[in-house]
Structure 1
Amino acid sequence: MAQDVSFEVRNNNGEPVQVGAWRFEGGRGGPKVHLQAGVHADEIAGMLVLHLLMQRLEVAESQGRLNGSVTVVPQANPLGIGQFRQGRILGRFHDASGQNFNRGFDRSAAMPRPSTNVQEWQQKLVQLAAPADVMLDLHTDDEALPYLYVHRSFWPRGRELAAALRMDLAIIWDDGGDGSFEETIIAPWLRDGTTGQRLAATLELRGQGDVSDRFAEQDAQGLYAWLCGQGIIDDALAPADWAVEAVEMGHMETIVAPQPGVLIFEKELGDQVEQGQRFARILRRPGDPSSEVVLYAEQTGRLVTRYRDRLIARGMGVAKFTGSRLSRHWSGGLLDPN
């Protein structure tokens, strides 16, 4: 029976809300694993994946096939999950303060006494995950291919993880600087030079609308198989055979909207686009053909993400492509600065 390791934080009204967390313990020594979903509360797919994975972990634990321990936090953010406005969840930013929920974990973790409820939540979540040897943070993009976001220290070892999840792409990063959860967890590993036996990654499970039994079963099975391959679960499963393209984060090409308007894509996710080839257009004033702007690929690559809504504001990210050279727009930091 999994151990309940849930904890409480205060919501905006000062009332306690719970972060549900469960720990599956093996009878033998082994790695400590931390799995979580929903730090951005509107990114739902990983919640269902971990819900299904927990059922498999419970069986493995009861049959004595679990090595080490696996802590699962299937819905990590109770502050964001209740932020509905006009029927739509706003789970990326804290409504009261405007803070991105996945930024500033490093500062919150170091505070002797957090002064806000977001800082309190961040500190407790870091404390829960800090003992782990393996940390996987499940997210989703707007509309996207599944992809792995991983620090260079864990590549190419992370390829097996990406293959198990049938991820077409791994984005390799070096420097963050904004205190994301992943960055905060691995900071002491990097400082102490202990990354060799550890692994941390962010898993982007397609787009925000890709929540289904089919995808969730596939992803839960992939995670289970990967845990078996790492010796965390005693179960003989064949490793996945899946081609994974590794791309430097600075080579990812982000195209932003030069004007507001109706967004019309002419290419689908996964399509290969040549440099200078059109892939979308924006119609600023329907009825006025002269108000239409065509968008072109900056370099040759695959269409990886797309803006989910079809009415876009000026300056918003329209799409991201893989690239083979440093993007002229690249200035360091995270893939998504906001």
Structure 2
Amino acid sequence: MKTETIQLAGDVPGNHIELRVLRFAGKDEKAVTAYLQSSLHGSELPGQAALHFLIPMLEKAEREGRIAGDITVVPQANPIGSAQWFSHQHLGRFEFFSNVNFNRSFPLLDTFDTSGLVSLDGPKPLAERLKAQLLRLALPHEIVLDLHCDDESENYLYIHQAFLPEMYDLASSLGSTAILSWNSTADAAFEEACAHPVLQLPDSKRDVKRRAVTTVEFRGLSDVDVATGKADAEGLYRFLVHRGVVIDAAVKLTVDFKGPVTPLENVEMVRAPQGGMVLFHVNIGDEVEAGAKLVTVVTIPGDPSGDVTLTAPQAGRILTRRSHRYTRRGDDLLKLLGSKRSEQARPGSLEA
């Protein structure tokens, strides 16, 4: 393994960030190559834990000559967001200066040529230069896995429709319970930016049996422990073996994903109509009928007349819940996977 430290100057004199990049050289130039990154939102750590345990597995494979395709790993993809703390709270989702989500507004390139991206020392803000550098690292690879997590959640994937059903192998390997399929988010997340040049190719040249581009949602923010990290690492390793990036005769994958594949427009985003205390009636993974109680927002503690109870707009599966229990008006509270288009469906990503 070779470790590279890429330094990006800050936006004012006297500060900079460092991006740690781990590279494993493959011995077969025809093998599939892979890029894995985590913590684009700073404190989303389940993916970082998985990479922490995966890297020694890859080092062992490298020592034994079993790395077939090049592998690039960036365990901490966002040093800017990782350093953003305010009043003892970590706030790594949005850049403080612009208030732009770190996983939005990536450049959408029509080809894999990254020469036109802003350089490391170009006249652009640090966040834009970091996004350009992450794309330069990722786009040479056929497999791109961006590891995230939700608040409280099952393990699920975002996958463009063009890569399905070939990517059921990843869902099977990671034990994902659901796939959210998309056509165009229009918000230029990292996944979309990495898929975009592939989607500009004619169908005959996309070679989606070799490609995999996805956002992995490794459960919730607090699902970080040794056993879970090791299990997720084994899932990633199993997928890399299955796709021929790593050689390991002892590892086999049965593709048996049977979870729902839900278009983004079928996801019900249940939002708080008023602020107050949140009391959930459902748990992650529950199957509910239309009209079932989902959550009560208590607006006047001690006076039930102020309770606002939200019900399921259609039957479906509870995929995520928010981890906070005190909410503002308009906040997202949970995701419900429905079988038909949500009446509230709108273009773009599900969340800010």
Fold agreement, TM-score > 0.5: yes
Aligned partner letter, 1:5? E
Q: What is the match of residue 76 of structure 1?
A: 77
Could you tell me how far apart the structure 2 residues matched to 1:107 and 1:324 are?
A: 31
Choose which of 154, 175, 179 in structure 2 pairs with 1:145. 154
CA distance in 1, matches of 2:44, 2:304: 36
- 1:106, 1:180 within 8 Å by CA — same for their partners in 2? no
Which residue matches 1:33? 34
Tell me if the contact between 1:283 and 1:292 (Cα under 8 Å) persists in the aligned partners. yes
Give the match for residue 4 of structure 2: 5
Residue 255 of structure 1 is matched in structure 2 by: 270
Aligned to 2:187: 178
Name the counterpart of 1:220: 233
Q: Aligned pair 1:195/2:206, yes or no?
A: yes
Residue aligning to 2:325: 310
Distance, in Å, in 1 between the alignment partners of 2:211 and 2:47 is 22
Contact kept in structure 2, 1:26 and 1:66, CA below 8 Å: yes
Q: Pick the aligned partner of 2:252 from 226, 229, 238.
A: 238
Structure 2 residue identity aligned to 1:102: N
Q: Give the corresponding residue for 2:20.
A: 20
Change (3 A) 1:13 1:288: farther
8 Å contact from structure 1 (residues 153, 195) kept in 2 = no
Unaligned stretches of 5+ in structure 2? none
Tell me how far apart the structure 2 counterparts of residues 311 and 217 of structure 1 sit (CA, whole Å).
33
Q: Which moved more, 1:25-34 or 1:150-159?
A: 25-34
- TM-score, reference length from structure 2: 0.92
Deviation at 1:279, TM superposition (A): 1.6
- Does the Cα contact within 8 Å between 2:272 and 2:328 map onto a contact in 1? yes
CA contact (8 A) 2:45 2:224 kept: yes
Deviation of 1:42 (Å): 2.0
In 2: Cα distance, 1:82 partner to 1:45 partner: 18
User: 1:41-80 residue pairs with structure 2 within 5 A?
Assistant: 41-80=42-81
Over residues 271-305 of structure 1, what are the superposed CA-to-partner deviations in whole Å (9 max), with x where a residue is unaligned? 01100110210101212221111110011011001
Q: Which blocks of at least 5 consecutive residues in structure 1 are unaligned?
A: none
| Cα drift, residue 54 of structure 1 | 0.6
Q: Return the letter of the residue paired with 2:221.
A: Q
Query: What is the aligned counterpart of 1:296 among 299, 306, 311?
Result: 311
Residue of structure 2 in register with 1:159 after alignment: 168
| Residue 5 of structure 1, CA deviation | 3.1
For the pair 1:229 / 2:237, whether they are aligned, the reply is no
CA RMSD of aligned residues (A): 1.5
Q: CA deviation at 1:244?
A: 2.5
Aligned 8 A contact 2:168 2:257 in 1? no
Whether the 8 Å contact between 1:42 and 1:89 is mirrored in structure 2 is yes
- Quote the Cα distance in structure 2 between the aligned partners of 1:61 and 1:6: 20
**Residue pairs, 1:83-98, within 5 angstroms:** 83-98=84-99
Instruction: Decide whether the 8 Å contact of 1:147 with 1:206 is kept in 2.
Output: yes
Residues matched between the structures, number: 336
Select which of 203, 206, 211 maps to 2:219: 206
User: Secondary structure of the equivalent of 2:344?
Assistant: coil
